[in-house]
Amino acid sequence: MHDWAAPIIAAALFMLLSPGLIFQLPGEHTSIGFMNMKTSVVSMFLHTVVYGLLLILFLVALDIHMYA
């Protein structure tokens, strides 16, 4: 049995937290931009930090497992 939680959660978070796809932190004119398909270095850094924190939350703090 293999634990599939880590790759599934990591791939889903990576897709959802791509800067500019759904939202962008910080946005161009506001603090949050929605679906503008643009990015900046600051936005990439903030999305990386949020991605890492959520990944730690799901895989380390909540200890989620999914076996198939």
45 C-beta neighbours (distance < 10 Å), count: 12
pLDDT tens profile 32-60: 888 888 888 888 999 999 999 999 999 99
Would you list the DSSP string of 3-20? B-HHHHHHHHHHHHTSTT
pLDDT tens profile 1-28: 789 999 999 999 999 998 888 888 887 7
pLDDT of residue 25: 84
Task: Give the chain's length.
Answer: 68
pLDDT of residue 51: 95
pLDDT at 29 over 80: no
Say if CB 5 and CB 59 are below 8 A apart: yes
pLDDT at 61 over 90: yes
